[in-house]
Amino acid sequence: MSDLKPVARPSFLLEGRGGKALALVGLAIVIALLKPWGSGGETSGPTEASLPTASPRPSAPPPTAPPTPDPRDVDSRPYDPLIFGDHELPAMWGLWPAGYMVSFGFAMNTEPSSPAGGGPSSAPSSRPGTADPIWPVAIDIPLGNHLLLIGVNTPKGHSVDSIYLTRLLADGRTADVPVVRLPSPWSSHFTVIGVDGGYGVSRTAIWLPGLYRLDLLIDGTIERSIEIRVDGVPTPSGLTPLGAP
> 141: helix, coil or strand?
strand
Q: How far apart (Å, rounded) are the C-alpha atoms in residues 31 and 34? A: 5
Q: How far apart (Å, rounded) are the C-alpha atoms in residues 153 and 35? A: 96
Residues with Cβ within 8 Å of 156's Cβ and at least 6 positions away in sequence, in order, are 91, 188, 189
Q: How far apart (Å, rounded) are the C-alpha atoms in residues 151 and 182? A: 10
Summarize pLDDT for 108-128 with one digit per residue, the tens. 555 554 433 333 333 333 444
Q: How far apart (Å, rounded) are the C-alpha atoms in residues 36 and 38? A: 6
Q: How far apart (Å, rounded) are the C-alpha atoms in residues 74 and 168? A: 22
Residue pair 145/106 in contact by the 8 Å Cβ criterion: yes
pLDDT in 10s for each residue of the chain, 245 residues = 555 555 555 554 555 555 666 666 666 676 666 655 554 545 555 555 555 666 667 677 777 777 777 777 778 899 999 999 889 999 999 999 998 875 444 455 555 544 333 333 333 334 444 467 888 889 999 888 889 999 999 999 999 999 999 999 888 899 999 999 999 999 999 999 999 999 999 999 999 999 999 999 999 999 999 999 998 765 543 334 443 33
